[in-house]
Amino acid sequence: MISPDEVKGMIQAALPDAKIHVQDLTGGGDHYQVVVVSSLFEGKRLVQQHQLVYNAVQKAMSSEQIHALALKTYTPQSWMVSGQEFAQSQS
């Protein structure tokens, strides 16, 4: 089991400029949905963006602390176009 804050910290370490929202989908601490907005995604295909995030949480996934991870990744520009907003408590 791993906390949402720990998941966020792993991703933040790999993508320092990222805005990240982590949601525990089941309450069990092993199924997460993550939204990541980072300028490091600029010029990368969706699969490459996801690989950057998966690489950041690889240790937790390989040890099965994270069993499932649903990802949504955005560049800052694509995030603005989407019209979505992070909750104020998210960074």
Q: What is the pTM of this model?
A: 0.90
Is residue 75's pLDDT more than 70? yes
Residue carrying the six token digits 């955005």: 74
pLDDT tops 50 at residue 89: no
- Report, as an integer, the average pLDDT of 65-78: 94
Average pLDDT over residues 43-54: 97
Give the residue extent of every domain in the chain: 4-77
Q: What is the fold, at CATH topology level, of the domain defined by 4-77?
A: GMP Synthetase; Chain A, domain 3 (3.30.300)
Q: How confident is the model at residue 6 (pLDDT cuts 50, 70, 90)?
A: very high
pLDDT band at 86 (very low <50, low <70, confident <90, very high): confident
| CB 68 within 8 Å of CB 31 | yes
3-state helix, strand, coil in the chain (%, to 5): 40, 20, 35
